[in-house]
Amino acid sequence: QYKHGGYTFQAMVKTLNEWRQSGQMAFNSNSSNDSIYGVEIKTDRVEAYLKNGYVFSDKANIGITTSYIYHHQNSIFGQRIYSGTQHSYNFNAIFSYDFSGGNHHVDHAHSLLAGISSQGDIYTELVALQKQTPNRYDLNDIYAGIFFQYTYKFKEKLTLIAGIRGDYSTLYKPFVTPRLHLKYSPWEKTNIRLAVGKGTRNSMLFAENNYLLT
């Protein structure tokens, strides 16, 4: 982490190499004896993250973040075989403007967020539910979009957040995701919240339900 004046820089790298084994004591993943049950999971993972931020004033700042993930897993669940590889990147550039300049004593506070972002996911999975030739499942999705978010606060009683973003995806083509959040505090110790919106995500059937293979 590095700071100088209004500028901030952060960098992070994390790696993981993991080997797990369970099952019957006589289990050996290199053995062809299918009557002995065992589970073996080998995982290699690398994450990298960069952040650049600059504060122009009490009202305005900008932040740019980028990240990359590599994840590879080879696993055996009895006679079931699963192997998966993931490459993912994320990019965000966000501009923030606080019209009240961080003054918490004003009755009405307005702020605006706007930015661009992009996400890319490349998955390759090999799955065999018996010890046979695995079936291959691929998912490649890259999207980019813009977003805007407006926040209004009235004293400590009311907070309203309205946001919308538009994206173009190689899988889903153009799509829009709006959201609205409302928080109202009529009395001390009492909060009323309302949230409506829409979201999209890719479902990875085997990676997200790995445990069921046991």
CB within 8 Å of 62: residues ≥ 6 apart: 53, 54, 56, 93, 94, 95, 96
Q: Which residue has the tokens 């993930």?
A: 69
Q: What integer pLDDT is reported at residue 176 of this predicted model? A: 95
CB within 8 Å of 203: residues ≥ 6 apart: none
Using a pLDDT cut of 70, give the percent of the chain over it.
99
pTM of the model: 0.83
Residues in the chain: 214
Q: Which pair of structure tokens corresponds to residue 76?
A: 């055996």
Confidence class for position 203, pLDDT limits 50, 70, 90? confident
**Alpha helix (H) ranges present in 35-94?**
none
- Per-residue pLDDT, averaged over 159-188, amounts to 94
Q: How many Cβ atoms are within 10 Å of 96's Cβ, its own excluded?
A: 19
CA distance 148 to 79: 50
Of the candidates 103, 114, 131, the residue with the CA atom closest to the CA atom of residue 29: 131
